[in-house]
């Protein structure tokens, strides 16, 4: 490929940018502190620096007592971290230097006896930048409380999952968020913020004197600090700079050497590019005359970067306009369809811009998504959505009609969904509430769309942002998945996951994905499980105005599901519309989707199969109440139930009944159900390939 004159000047600043980005990354890291030692250890694939190590860049106000133990009963990947701890008989501070913004803090505890100090008897308080996060805290007591809540769940009694998150805004408003996740031993999670008037974050622990003589010590095994994104959500985690070290002659020499090296690289690169440009100047002018000048939109002439899961990427140049992207609209046509972007036609707003209801020149109703010309926020996600919709075709995925790229505009035109979002028919609007059958059908439709995403191509596609506002309903209340801006191509056969920055929405985010930054299809399954509970309860997934134990929908609903008492929290609009059996089966599906470990969650194909089974139960119940002969219905349900109770020892696989479905791409016919007794309540399919 020839290098044109214009491209030379583009390559030079890109080369300079790459050099400085790499150097900048070398100066930043996440704080992972191993308490009670000056040694570094490897835990869960990360390096933890000892808090007394002179090179740890962490300031400790007092030394306390360093303690260690040889006994540990937990996940071996964390054993080296939990074998040391630091005890304090008075308040102490850990201080980190950082820029203003929101921060995520995780405190690790593993109580053990050291000398005459018993961590199980310690009561202490935790504060960050003067804000008390917790008081009268006792590790053993918290574990005992969580154990009582998890009793009967079949989990390992020595491993507990309790995550408490605190988010502090600039107005010092505090609310608690509870979210479940499989964690090793025991830890506490918090959110805090550094104001613009401060440049440090300090975490204070100390004995809680309000508990009396028993509270004599504070305990800490490990500490993690991450900086969150500018908008304060879990879109991604930003690493922040180290604490500046004191200047020494060695560091000065090092920086001078780095600066000289960078300057040399820039000079040589510029010289080479200048020579190439001078040699090809004449041919560049000829090519310029032949080709029409002007700006070329990035999303039509872009380089697609593919992550292989091992940290390396490959670039493939492609023209997105050739990927079945539909009709190319002129800007005049778009303005005519939206009455010059009339604000009264706005039906949605996102980080990319606004969505307008429009009528095309042929009378077709459409939704027009327009990126904000004055802002770059969300444009990358917008390009991803265009690429995904250009390649995807399915009844339960929103279809793209076309696009417009005139005058620096980035506009997407897709089919209009007359009944809006699924959430708008559950709560928060004046729209009519959905019946239990309609809710089941909406869940089944969205499950079909997700199953197609996961299996319809060689590597599959992970949606990454499943929520009720991204499930749209057409004029017949057929559910379709929408908003593919955060979607990611799945891992190749050689890899089990895709390593990527954390993106998603509060309340729906898979805690395992958040903790390890390893994305799999099971992350979508977790989010879909939250959607199922939202369909049952008809309330927001995060509601800070509720009592502490009800703020997070997933945690709150799971407590009732484990006690098999979902009927006490079901949406009152559903009273008398459902059978107890269908609700029970529906709750079991949601519970499985929210399993702590991704490997314990079902696939979307299995979720789809069981949702269709729940719909069969409900329809048989409706016919029975209507006085119709339901003998055939009973026989069908008994057959399905027998398949659901076959043990793996029998090795008896019965093909399931072919269901009437106009989308063979997601049909679950031809599958087998081998449910292991007491091990897995979900069928194991032989084939789940999509169309």
Q: Give the residue numbers marked as catalytic.
A: 465
Two tokens, residue 559: 């407590």
Nearest to 386 by CA among 410, 407, 365, 406: 410
- Residues paired with 87 in a beta bridge: 65, 219
What is the separation of C-alpha 371 from the centre of its chain, rounded to a whole number of angstroms? Answer: 23
CB 483 within 8 A of CB 499: no
Tell me the three state secondary structure of residue 112. coil
Instruction: Find the length of the chain.
Output: 691
47 is in an annotated binding site: no
Q: Which long-range contacts (CB under 8 A, 24 or more apart) does 151-160 make?
A: 152/562, 152/563, 153/562, 155/596, 158/73, 158/74, 159/74, 159/75, 159/183, 159/184, 159/185, 160/186
- Distance (Å, whole) CA 393 – CA 324: 10
Q: What is the DSSP letter of 89?
A: S
CB 417 within 8 A of CB 397: no
CB 663 within 8 A of CB 450: no
Q: How many CB atoms neighbour CB 560 within 10 A?
A: 18
Q: Which DSSP helix (H) or strand (E) runs through 142? A: helix 139-149
- Distance (Å, whole) CA 565 – CA 647: 27
Give the DSSP per-residue string, 593-658.
HT-SSGGGSPPHHHHHHHHHHHHHHHHHHHHHHTT---HHHHHHHHHHHHHHT--TTTT---BPPP
CB 94 within 8 A of CB 58: yes
Two tokens, residue 544: 């800070």
- Distance (Å, whole) CA 405 – CA 330: 8
| Binding-site annotation, residues | 369
| Binding-site annotation, residues for ATP | 369
């Amino acid at each position: 490929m020839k290098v044109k004159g214009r491209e030379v000047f583009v390559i030079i600043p890109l080369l300079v940018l790459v050099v400085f980005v790499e150097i900048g990354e070398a100066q930043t890291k996440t704080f992972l502190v191993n308490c009670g030692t000056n040694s570094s250890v490897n835990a869960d694939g990360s390096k933890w620096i000892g808090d007394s190590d002179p090179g740890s860049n962490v300031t400790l106000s007092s030394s306390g007592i360093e303690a260690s133990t040889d006994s540990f009963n937990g996940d071996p990947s964390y054993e080296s971290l939990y074998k040391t701890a630091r005890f304090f008989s008075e308040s102490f501070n850990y201080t980190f230097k950082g820029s203003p913004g929101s921060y995520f803090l995780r405190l690790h505890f593993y109580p053990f006896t050291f000398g005459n100090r018993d961590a199980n008897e310690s009561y202490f308080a935790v504060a960050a930048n003067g804000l008390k996060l917790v008081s009268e805290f006792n590790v053993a007591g918290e574990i005992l409380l969580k154990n009582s809540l998890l009793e009967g769940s079949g989990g390992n009694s020595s491993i507990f999952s309790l995550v408490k998150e605190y988010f502090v805004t600039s107005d010092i408003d505090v609310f608690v968020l509870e979210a479940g996740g499989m964690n090793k031993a025991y830890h506490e999670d918090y959110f805090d913020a550094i104001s613009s008037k401060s440049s440090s974050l300090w975490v204070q622990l100390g004995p809680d004197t309000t508990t009396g003589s028993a509270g004599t010590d504070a305990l800490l095994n490990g500490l993690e600090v991450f900086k969150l994104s500018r908008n304060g959500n879990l879109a991604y985690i930003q690493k922040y700079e180290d604490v500046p070290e004191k200047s020494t002659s060695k560091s000065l020499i090092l920086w001078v050497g780095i600066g000289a090296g960078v300057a040399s690289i820039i000079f040589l690169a510029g010289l080479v590019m200048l020579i190439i440009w001078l040699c090809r100047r004449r041919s560049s002018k000829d090519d310029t005359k032949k080709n029409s000048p002007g700006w070329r939109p990035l999303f039509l002439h872009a380089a697609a970067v593919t992550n292989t899961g091992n940290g390396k990427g490959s670039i493939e140049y492609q023209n997105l306009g050739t990927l079945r992207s539909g009709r190319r609209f002129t800007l005049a046509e778009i303005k005519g369809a939206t009455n010059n972007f009339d604000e009264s036609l706005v039906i949605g707003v996102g980080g990319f811009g606004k969505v307008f209801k429009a009528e095309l020149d042929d009378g077709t109703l459409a939704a027009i998504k327009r990126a904000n010309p004055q802002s770059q926020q969300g444009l990358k996600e917008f390009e991803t959505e265009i690429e995904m919709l250009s390649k995807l075709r399915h009844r339960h995925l929103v279809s793209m009609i076309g696009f417009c790229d005139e005058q620096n505009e980035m506009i997407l035109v897709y089919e209009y969904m007359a009944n809006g979002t699924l959430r708008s028919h559950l709560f928060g609007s004046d729209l009519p509430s959905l019946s239990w059958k309609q809710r089941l059908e909406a869940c089944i439709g969205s499950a079909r769309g997700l199953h197609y995403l996961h299996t319809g191509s060689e590597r599959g596609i992970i949606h990454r942002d499943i929520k009720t506002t991204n499930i749209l309903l057409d004029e017949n209340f057929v559910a379709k998945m929408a908003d593919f801006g955060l979607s990611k191509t799945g891992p190749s056969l050689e890899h089990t996951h895709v390593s990527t920055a954390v993106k998603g929405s509060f309340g729906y985010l898979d805690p395992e994905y958040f903790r390890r930054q390893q994305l799999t299809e099971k992350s979508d399954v977790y989010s879909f499980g939250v959607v199922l509970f939202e369909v049952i309860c008809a309330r927001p997934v995060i509601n800070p105005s509720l009592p502490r134990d009800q703020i997070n929908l997933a945690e709150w609903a799971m407590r009732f599901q484990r006690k098999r008492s979902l009927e006490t929290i079901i949406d009152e609009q559903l009273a008398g519309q459902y059978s107890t059996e269908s609700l029970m089966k529906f709750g079991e599906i949601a519970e499985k989707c929210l399993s702590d470990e991704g490997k314990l969650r079902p696939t979307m194909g299995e979720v789809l199969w069981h949702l269709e089974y729940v719909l069969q139960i409900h329809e048989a119940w409706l016919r029975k109440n209507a006085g119709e002969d339901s003998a055939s219905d009973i026989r069908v349900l008994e057959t399905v139930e027998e398949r659901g109770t076959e043990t793996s020892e029998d090795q008896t696989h019965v093909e399931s009944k072919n269901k009437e479905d106009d989308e063979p791409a997601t049909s679950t016919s031809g599958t087998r159900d081998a449910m292991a007794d007491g091990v897995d309540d979900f069928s194991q399919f032989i084939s789940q390939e999509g169309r």
